[in-house]
Structure formats: structure tokens, C-alpha cells
Amino acid sequence: MSPTFEELSVGQDIGGRSIDVTRQDLVKYAGASGDFNPIHWNEAFATGVELPGVIAHGMFTMGAAVQLVSDWAGDPAAVVDYQTRFTKPVLVADTTGTGAAGAVIEVSGAIGALDAEARTARVDLAVVFDGQKVLMKAQALVKVA
């Protein structure tokens, strides 16, 4: 059930989730996005350009994180704006064949601001990998009924 504006308060928690990421997820995302940069799937190339390993696409991380908000809102179209700054890469280890995640991204959200006239809620997201924020000022603006 979608939240109503009257049910919301600044600081209110909207929940959280853990997102398991594998190299296979990155290859699928590359196909969907058209971003086949080898830093997102080829270990030798990534380390050859002085990265610590294969990293997730920034837009993959951004999109995976905002899923928490669209699920909470009950309608992806309710998210009318979403912005963030990329601060750290998400390193995705090669776990092919093990069934394990190569990385786990932790996402939590809280109401950061309410606009009664526009009936919008700003949801502030905390997006963390390996104990460090990977997205800063991750904020989604949600139109609320």
C-alpha cells in the first residue's frame, strides 16, 4: 500500500535492503545499457588501468539503490526526481560458479523533507559498500497521494 502524505514525518525510516551484486549482473547491465567498458567485467583490464578490480557501473548502483524508494512509494512513476554524487566504486569480486555475491550494497532511506503544497517527500538514501558510502546526497523526490 502506498503511503499517504499525512502519514509521513521528517526523519521517518522507509526501510532498507541489501543488494547482492555479481559479475553476471554487471554483464547483464552492460547489455541493457550499452556500456561495455571492460572495467565493469574484465579483471585484467581493470587492474591494468590502476583500479583495484572490476567495479560496478555507477548507474547500476544508482538504479539499484532507488528501487527501495519506488517499492516504498508503490509506483515507480511517483519518483519525480533523483540525484546523487558518486564517491566510491563498488568492487565486485569474481564469484562465478559459487552462487555467492561478489559485492553487497546496503541501502536505507528516511524522509528528509516534506512539501505540503506540492505533496512531495524527499527521501534521503544511505548507500554503503564495504563500510563506506558510495553515493553521497542520494535524494529522491516522491509525489505522494
- DSSP 8-state code for residue 4: P
Give residue-wise pLDDT tens across range 128-143: 999 999 999 999 999 9
Classified as helix, coil or strand, 118 is coil
Residue with cell 538514501: 125
Pick the CATH number of 5-143 from 3.40.50.2300, 3.10.129.10, 3.90.420.10, 3.30.70.270: 3.10.129.10
Kindly list the distances between the CA atom of residue 27 and the CA atoms of 45, 58, 65, 88, 106, in Å, as whole numbers in the listed order: 15, 14, 18, 20, 21
The single residue listed with the C-alpha cell 523526490 is 141
Q: What percent of the chain has pLDDT over 70?
A: 100
Strands ordered across the beta sheet of 120-129: 13-21, 103-115, 120-129, 132-143, 79-86
Domain ranges of the chain: 5-143
| Per-residue pLDDT tens over the stretch 70-97 | 999 999 999 999 999 999 999 999 998 8
Contact present, 109 and 15 (Cβ < 8 Å): yes
Q: What is the pLDDT of residues 17-68, one digit of tens each?
A: 999 999 999 999 999 999 999 999 999 999 999 999 999 999 999 999 999 9
> With contact defined as beta carbons under 8 Å apart, do 81 and 108 qualify?
no
